[in-house]
Structure 1
Amino acid sequence: MSSTSVLATRSEHSRLTRWRRAWINRETAAAWIFLLPSLIGFIAFYAVPAVRAVSISFTDWDLLTDPQNIGLENYTRLFQDEDFWQSLRVTFAYVLFNIPIQTAIALVIAVLMDRFTKSIIVRGIMIVPWLMPNVVVGLLWLWLLDPSLGIVNVFIEWLGFSSVPFLTGTDFALPSIAGINIWRHMGYTALLIFAGLQAIPGSVYEAAAIDGASELRTFWSITIPLLRPVLVFVLVTSIIGSFQIFDTVAITTEGGPVNATEVLNWFIYEHAFVRFNMGYATTISVVLFLILIVVSVVQMRIMRADESDF
């Protein structure tokens, strides 16, 4: 055997030995024991249904009879469906109402908490709306914003103005839905940003103060860049959650008035459980999944999620 073959054999044996040491040891076994319950749950409740959903999207199925394979007909219909494009526009409008305002308010709250108080009580109060179920939040605001008896409109009329059709007017319904969800999530988002602020070394701010940097310049040149990893996480998860808005719409407006709040998830629900067109509803779900992947990748590329400013 030539020396080259011997070296190649030894290299392969060394590689196998390293692989065995990495994957066949106590630490790896312990890791798999802890990961296995979550892995089984992920496969059973996410991976398998996702694969099944893709297969259903190629069928015509009314939930009562056997599905019939129709190929790409659902996808062809989808891209020609004006109602789908309208619901997609409504969803994008909701995201644009929701995310910038929610993130800005959360950032301000987090900075104020970092500067003036780090009380656990304050942080507990901030997260209470997020801990409430979406259904409870929807019912609460449905009563508060009632055009006749809601306390918000009672207060507006007490000030001398006309009542506002928050959830019944086509111009107000979607911003009102966005406002409800901003109220629910801004405290949780603020706590995430607050945690990121705690990780920024104080020496960086001391150096900026010695150099004579103003508060505003310090915020834009130090705080925001060093918060980028947290902001990436906040924005990606918030936007994904906003695209999946359903509970609040279902409780308050049911897609109305005149489809003004018919977001994609409500559109999917209607086709699946009102019109019993599961194949077409699943097709919309698959397209929504692809949209979320594209939006998330674009966000992470634009915000340089794989880089650090530390």
Structure 2
Amino acid sequence: MALTSRAARARSTADLALHVHDYRPDANGSRRERLTALAFIAPALLGFAVFYFWPTLRGLYFSFTEYDVFNRPVFVGLGNYRAILEDSTFWNAMLVTVEYVAINIATQTVLALLLAVLLHRLTRSVFVRSVIVLPYLIANVVVALVFYWMLDAQIGITNQVLGWLGTGPVAFFGDQNWAIPTIALVNTWRHLGYTALLLFAGMVMIPNDVYEAGRVDGASEWKMFWRITLPLLRPVLALVLVITVVGSFQAFDTVAVTTSGGPGDASRVIQYYIFDLAFQRLQFGYASAVSVVLFVILALVALVQLRLMRADQSDVA
């Protein structure tokens, strides 16, 4: 009996070993899966290499040269970067850009938070969300042109309404004090719905049990917003702020369509200054150096934002 039971255990162990061997991953299957995955991501990798990585490397090289397209690049070392330190137009463009970013981000973030809370607490209608995101789907050049006509000091409907109210016409795009705030608010209008939907998606991930516990404790909607929604929304809010800040520093098309950097240099943001250097003055080497400086600034800004807002940590249990 002992020998029989021992033989039976040996056979069962051998059968188990055979089954385990059968379930081992197939090396050829894994290789096929990797090749399939590479085939799917190859178009994106090719587009990234051709349209982003290679131009970035060439721009970095041109930043150390004098280059005007018609002649071969002449290596000047750090000459372009030293020139930036003494370029008053560059520093004015940075100040104008910072003003634009401050107005745009402040208004866009506050209004988007308010809109996202209303969507989350009052309605989750797909139709309402579609209407809210509709301005973002319109080309920025089209939006800029429509607002340019609406806010025109002579024929714009906005100034006509102000005239009916007894207020004189305002040159929204033609006044040095109004140009940047107007451009910032126009872009806020366009991006508001998209930013609100990103924040709304973050709010949906917050467990409803937390809000129910707050109601049981007698907390008002205002207190739950400050004590529950904002702390738990912090990682998503940090990501949204990085996206919006980086995007705001790259504002160009609205300025190009409406003011062309004027009046004077009042709306000459840094991206428009780079465009002016490269395609109007043909100083591609210097424009590349300014682009590299802007890239470094944006990388540092994004890093500081993520660190300060602890974007890699979540309070959702």
Same fold (TM > 0.5): yes
Partner of 2:139: 133
Q: Which amino acid aligns with 1:306?
A: D
- Describe how 1:71-82 pairs up with structure 2 within 5 A: 71-82=77-88
- Describe how 1:124-273 pairs up with structure 2 within 5 A: 124-273=130-279
Within the candidate set 28, 31, 42, 2:34 is matched to: 28
Distance 2:70 2:128 in 1: 52
Q: Using the TM superposition, give the Cα deviation of residue 209 of structure 1 relative to its aligned residue in structure 2, in angstroms.
A: 1.4
Where structure 2 has 5 or more consecutive residues not aligned to the other structure, the ranges are: 1-25
Q: Which amino acid aligns with 1:128?
A: L
Q: Tell me: CA distance 1:279–1:193, structure 2 relative to 1, closer, same or farther (3 Å).
A: same
Q: Using the TM superposition, give the Cα deviation of residue 269 of structure 1 relative to its aligned residue in structure 2, in angstroms.
A: 0.6
Q: Which amino acid aligns with 2:129?
A: R
Deviations 1:125-182 (A, max 9, x none): 1111111111111111110110010011111111111111100000000000001000
Q: Using the TM superposition, give the Cα deviation of residue 187 of structure 1 relative to its aligned residue in structure 2, in angstroms.
A: 0.7
> Aligned-residue CA RMSD in angstroms?
1.4
1:120 and 2:126 are equivalent in the alignment: yes
Distance 2:110 2:177 in 1: 23
Distance 2:188 2:280 in 1: 29
Distance 2:204 2:36 in 1: 32
Partner of 1:3: none
Which range moves more in the overlay, 145-154 or 207-216?
A: 207-216
Q: Which amino acid aligns with 1:141?
A: F
Deviations 1:18-74 (A, max 9, x none): xx97x9544433322222111111111111110110000011111111111111110
Where structure 1 has 5 or more consecutive residues not aligned to the other structure, the ranges are: 1-19
Distance 1:242 1:282 in 2: 20
Distance 1:174 1:186 in 2: 18
Stretches of 4+ aligned residues off by more than 4 angstroms: none
For these two proteins, the number of residue pairs brought into alignment is 290
Q: Which amino acid aligns with 1:198?
A: V
Q: Which amino acid aligns with 2:204?
A: Q
1:274 and 2:280 are equivalent in the alignment: yes
Distance 2:101 2:171 in 1: 21
Partner of 1:108: 114
Q: Using the TM superposition, give the Cα deviation of residue 216 of structure 1 relative to its aligned residue in structure 2, in angstroms.
A: 1.6
Partner of 2:69: 63
Distance 1:27 1:196 in 2: 33
Which range moves more in the overlay, 208-217 or 103-112?
A: 208-217
Compute the TM-score of the two structures, normalised by the length of structure 1: 0.91
Between the aligned residues of both structures, percent identity stands at 49
Distance 2:284 2:87 in 1: 16
Compute the TM-score of the two structures, normalised by the length of structure 2: 0.89
SS in 2 for 1:227: helix
Q: Using the TM superposition, give the Cα deviation of residue 274 of structure 1 relative to its aligned residue in structure 2, in angstroms.
A: 0.8
Q: Which amino acid aligns with 2:314?
A: S
